[in-house]
Amino acid sequence: MPKRIGSAEWQGTLKEGKGNVKMGNAYEGPYSFSSRFEDGSGTNPEEMVAAAHAACFSMALSAGLEKAGHPSKSVNTKATVHLEKVDGGFAITKIELDAEADVPGIEDGAFQEIATATKSGCPISKALSAVDITLDAKLMVTA
């Protein structure tokens, strides 16, 4: 399997400094104290974790549904990462996964079982297993 590389550079002090983050060839952009702890422009590590988790979960759920004989038309996932001040600093305390999937021919109970297994089984969920991860999975069937 290929290795995936991300990199970041930070210049200056925490509050007045600035940084640049790069994710392979897909994205390169700024981050700062303001984009992380306020409403400033740019990205931050928690948004990148959220995007990675949403992407991983969506792909893994699609694979699980297909393996069970119910290929999905689409899986859309939003991950919300909670960064909170705790004793001694900051920590990611919770990740909420909200997923909607269009899956013809599956009952909601079977869908929920596959979604729940995916929550704990996708590689990003495994890497983040020290964090409380919740899931709200909705089965959306279109004509």
- Per-residue model confidence as pLDDT tens digits over 97-134: 999 999 999 999 999 999 999 999 999 999 999 999 99
Can you read off the two tokens belonging to residue 126? 């495994």
For the segment 28-43, the average pLDDT, to the nearest whole number, is 93
Whether the predicted pLDDT of 72 surpasses 70: yes
The neighbour count for residue 115, using CB atoms within 10 Å, is 24
Model pTM score: 0.92
pLDDT at 5: 93
Separation of alpha carbons 14 and 7, rounded Å: 18
pLDDT at 88: 87
* E strands in the chain: 6-11, 18-23, 27-31, 74-86, 89-102, 132-139
Separation of alpha carbons 105 and 57, rounded Å: 21
Separation of alpha carbons 58 and 119, rounded Å: 10
- Mean pLDDT, rounded, of the chain: 95
pLDDT band for position 60 (cuts 50, 70, 90): very high
